A and B are shown apart, each in its own frame.
Chain A
Amino acid sequence: MCRVDTWSRRSLVVGVLASIAAVAIVTAVIAVVKQWVPVLSLGVLYVFAVLPIAVVWGLWLALPVSIASMLAFNWFFLPPVHTFTLADSENWFALAVYLATAVVVSELAARARRRAAAAEQRERESALLAELSTELLRGRELGDELGEIGTRAAGVLGVGTAQIELGSERRPPPGTSPYLLEVADRTVGTIYVPAGSDPNVAARHRFLPALAALLAVAVDHDRLEHDALEAEALRRSDLVKTALLRAVSHDLRSPLTGIRTAVGALRNPTLQLSEEDRRELLETIDLDSDRLGRLVGDLLDLSRLEAGGAAPEAEVWSLDDLVREAIDALDARERVELSGEAPLVNVDATQIQRVLANLIENALKFSPPGAHVHVRITATRKEAIVRVVDQGPGLAEDELERVFEPFYRRGSDTRSGAGLGLAIARGFAAANGGRVWAESRPGQGATFALALPVVEVPAELQA
């Protein structure tokens, strides 16, 4: 109760003034009432001055007030009046009663006040802990929350500021003193409070261990989540590796088998090859070498994309030109119909042509012989969308995303390449700020869409 801060200094002044007023009021009341009641019995009224002072300010002010009351009673009312001498020993008894009342009441009041303050403090602590546990266990990143937790812990500890560091203790920042946050034998972190400040002792013993336990759980939670993510990433990369092995087993081996068979036949002196056979064998070598080359190129592109090494060199292009170039590159002008708008996009032309060529090639592959593939370009203020629509068998709901996984093959198709085209298309689209997705219902053909952000045309250039 002897905290000397601004609050208690102001309280001292108010308390003294209130005490003087209380004694004066009771004295005035006695002066009025004494004409009807024997004055000696009125001394008990000073209890009404001592009591409120004891309740509000405590014993340190209640004691002087009771002495002042006794002196005032003596001076104004007890014979001989206007002296401090006491004629009667009964008056000494009255004084003793006031003192005892003051002590008992103020002690009771102080105890109640301490309890209330302690309960309030505990409530603040547990409210903070409860809130923190909800937030931390809901999966908020612990690192982002530490500043806020520190500020609020400072409030609970009754210090100006507090800073929490996770991990083992380091050199405390200058001007702070450290308190360890420990659970069992584990040091979760350290809380630093301004040097010289004196955190509430009870709160320190009660609150800091609870905070430490909570932080420990949150740290473990974060780590487990991180581990789980890492395990998931590993599992996925394992899947990719398995898929890669399968692709290597089939897609690299097939052209290699063609080449090796053709070379073996051409070099075998016992075979009697006609001019036609010889030409066919050479063509096999030619085509299968191309296929191997494309496959190796695809694999390289894919690994570059996965490593984030496919930095686009963006320039402004008209999207319909890119589509036309892609169609020409596939030599597919006869089978592809292009319609729609001509929005401007800021992209790497080579990469986006690759995306479009892969989407169109895919559509052609799954179209019935002779059927056309339709390419439509639409544009909003923000986005340009190219839709490549085929008349093939379409995609089942669960295939819409899986077709973009590397090495995924649609249906029982064994001839559709390595299953890398769509994965590469999606990768290049993303590198250029776009998206690629599939829309379809089985039996209705598939639509593959590419969305790219459009470049705003300055008003003065618009036709």
Chain B
Amino acid sequence: MNGQRVLVVDDEPQILRALRATLRGAGYTVESAETAQGALTAAAAHPPEAVILDLVLPDGNGTDVCRELRSWSDAPVIVLSAVGEEKEKIAALDAGADDYVTKPFSVDELLARLRAVLRRRGAAPEPVIEVGDLRIDIAERVVTVDGRRVKLSPHEFDLLRVLAQNRGKLLTHRALLREVWGPAYEVEAHYLHVYVSHLRRKIEPDPASPRYLLTEPGAGYRLVDPANDDV
């Protein structure tokens, strides 16, 4: 393991302690903080490669930390949320968080998400993206599934491109609308749902049970490689 630095922020001492031991065991170097202010101070002192951030902190919320962090750091952020904090979770994702896990989470799931966000972070812009049998040529705007070319409308292509460039990452409705249709369309979620279903019909082997383009209920969409169980 490479000793990548992970900053863990949670005000529950026992959760913090368990996460520290777990992440150390997985080979990461762990920094920790219990407050929003402490998180920003720690991130500034020792810039982390990734941040695991609780949504509810004694002196503020995770969303604010996320937004602040984003203004000077591109370290991926995984949010720890709980049932009942859905609004906060979406707000944090919109503010730049990369993913979330819901408490109580499984250690395997958290470690997989962490690996995924760290891998994406290192990736350089690619002219051609391959996800399973899906091949997207960004420059030529050509998409093939299992070698067979599919015809996509310009918006369908842009939607697939944004998802593919962030593959594995959860993208909120708002973020997708902004990227594909522009900031004025951020609240027009029905556009998105319609185009996602078009896209699924063209790229999914079985559009009724999608394997590439997954729905995160109440949050957004995520493009994954069906063969890779990391995410």
Are A268 and B108 closer than 8 Å at their CB atoms?
Answer: yes
Q: Which residues of A contact B58 (CB under 8 A)?
A: 412-415
Once bound together, how far apart are the Cα atoms of A199 and B108, in whole Å?
90
Q: Tell me the chain B residues, 4-55 only, with Cβ under 8 Å from chain A.
A: 11-12, 14-15, 17-22, 24-27
The yes or no answer to B184 lying at the interface (CB within 8 A) is no
Q: Known contacts A249-B82, A253-B82, A257-B103; decide if A265 and B14 are in contact (CB<8 Å).
A: no
Are B84 and A249 closer than 8 Å at their CB atoms?
Answer: yes
Are B83 and A249 closer than 8 Å at their CB atoms?
Answer: yes
| A interface size (C-beta, 8 A) | 35
A256, A264, A268, A280: the one contacting B17 at CB < 8 Å is A280
Once bound together, how far apart are the Cα atoms of A34 and B222, in whole Å?
135
Least CB separation from A415: chain B residue: B11
Once bound together, how far apart are the Cα atoms of A246 and B59, in whole Å?
19
A249, A258, A277, A413: the one contacting B14 at CB < 8 Å is A258
Once bound together, how far apart are the Cα atoms of A281 and B58, in whole Å?
24
The yes or no answer to A89 lying at the interface (CB within 8 A) is no
Interface string of A225-266 (1 = CB under 8 A from B): 000000000000000000001100110011111111110110
Q: Which residues of B contact A272 (CB under 8 A)?
A: 25, 27
Once bound together, how far apart are the Cα atoms of A441 and B186, in whole Å?
48
Q: Known contacts A414-B11, A415-B58; decide if A261 and B82 are in contact (CB<8 Å).
A: no
Are A268 and B107 closer than 8 Å at their CB atoms?
Answer: yes
Q: Which residues of A contact B110 (CB under 8 A)?
A: 261
Judged by DSSP, the binding face of A is helix
Q: Known contacts A262-B18, A277-B24, A284-B18; decide if A257 and B105 are in contact (CB<8 Å).
A: yes
The yes or no answer to B106 lying at the interface (CB within 8 A) is yes
The yes or no answer to B104 lying at the interface (CB within 8 A) is yes
The yes or no answer to B56 lying at the interface (CB within 8 A) is yes
Once bound together, how far apart are the Cα atoms of A258 and B16, in whole Å?
8
Once bound together, how far apart are the Cα atoms of A113 and B202, in whole Å?
106
Are A281 and B14 closer than 8 Å at their CB atoms?
Answer: no
B12, B57, B83: the one contacting A258 at CB < 8 Å is B12
Are B21 and A260 closer than 8 Å at their CB atoms?
Answer: no
Are B21 and A250 closer than 8 Å at their CB atoms?
Answer: no
Are A257 and B15 closer than 8 Å at their CB atoms?
Answer: yes
Interface string of A124-145 (1 = CB under 8 A from B): 0000000000000000000000
Q: Which residues of B contact A264 (CB under 8 A)?
A: 22, 106-108
Q: Which residues of B contact A254 (CB under 8 A)?
A: 12, 14-15, 103
Which of B15, B18, B25, B57 has the most C-beta atoms of chain A within 10 angstroms of its own C-beta? B18
Interface string of B57-86 (1 = CB under 8 A from A): 111000000000000000000000011100
Q: Which residues of A contact B82 (CB under 8 A)?
A: 249-250, 253
Interface string of A319-354 (1 = CB under 8 A from B): 000000000000000000000000000000000000
Are B104 and A265 closer than 8 Å at their CB atoms?
Answer: no
Q: Tell me the chain B residues, 124-168 only, with Cβ under 8 Å from chain A.
A: none
Once bound together, how far apart are the Cα atoms of A287 and B17, in whole Å?
11
The yes or no answer to A195 lying at the interface (CB within 8 A) is no
Q: Which residues of A contact B11 (CB under 8 A)?
A: 414-415
The yes or no answer to A463 lying at the interface (CB within 8 A) is no
Interface string of B95-110 (1 = CB under 8 A from A): 0000000011111101
B82 nearest CB across to chain A (Å): 6
Q: Known contacts A249-B84, A271-B25; decide if A284 and B17 are in contact (CB<8 Å).
A: yes
Q: Which residues of A contact B26 (CB under 8 A)?
A: 270-271
Q: Which residues of B contact A277 (CB under 8 A)?
A: 21, 24-25
The yes or no answer to A31 lying at the interface (CB within 8 A) is no
The yes or no answer to A361 lying at the interface (CB within 8 A) is no
Are A253 and B103 closer than 8 Å at their CB atoms?
Answer: yes
Q: Which residues of B contact A246 (CB under 8 A)?
A: 84
Q: Known contacts A268-B108, A412-B59, A414-B56; decide if A288 and B25 are in contact (CB<8 Å).
A: no
Are A262 and B103 closer than 8 Å at their CB atoms?
Answer: no
Q: Which residues of B contact A270 (CB under 8 A)?
A: 26
Are B15 and A274 closer than 8 Å at their CB atoms?
Answer: no
The yes or no answer to A100 lying at the interface (CB within 8 A) is no
Are B18 and A281 closer than 8 Å at their CB atoms?
Answer: yes
Interface string of A75-112 (1 = CB under 8 A from B): 00000000000000000000000000000000000000
The yes or no answer to A117 lying at the interface (CB within 8 A) is no
Which of B14, B26, B84 has the most C-beta atoms of chain A within 10 angstroms of its own C-beta? B14
Once bound together, how far apart are the Cα atoms of A301 and B110, in whole Å?
36
Q: Known contacts A250-B82, A257-B104, A414-B58; decide if A287 and B14 are in contact (CB<8 Å).
A: yes
Q: Which residues of A contact B104 (CB under 8 A)?
A: 253, 256-257, 259-261
B57, B59, B84, B105: the one contacting A261 at CB < 8 Å is B105
A177 nearest CB across to chain B (Å): 66
Q: Known contacts A253-B103, A412-B58, A414-B56; decide if A265 and B84 are in contact (CB<8 Å).
A: no
Q: Which residues of A contact B83 (CB under 8 A)?
A: 249, 253
Interface string of B102-124 (1 = CB under 8 A from A): 01111110110000000000000
Once bound together, how far apart are the Cα atoms of A330 and B59, in whole Å?
28
Q: Which residues of B contact A260 (CB under 8 A)?
A: 104-107
B85 nearest CB across to chain A (Å): 8
Q: Which residues of B contact A280 (CB under 8 A)?
A: 17-18, 20-21
The yes or no answer to A14 lying at the interface (CB within 8 A) is no
Which residues on B are within 8 Å of A, measured CB to CB?
11-12, 14-15, 17-22, 24-27, 56-59, 82-84, 103-108, 110-111
CB-CB nearest 6 A-B residue pairs: A264-B107, A271-B25, A258-B14, A277-B21, A265-B22, A261-B18
29 example contacts (A-B, Cβ-Cβ < 8 A) are as follows: A246-B84, A249-B82, A253-B82, A253-B104, A254-B12, A254-B14, A254-B103, A258-B17, A260-B106, A260-B107, A262-B18, A262-B21, A264-B107, A265-B25, A265-B107, A268-B111, A271-B26, A273-B24, A274-B24, A277-B24, A280-B18, A280-B20, A283-B17, A284-B14, A284-B15, A284-B18, A412-B58, A415-B11, A415-B58
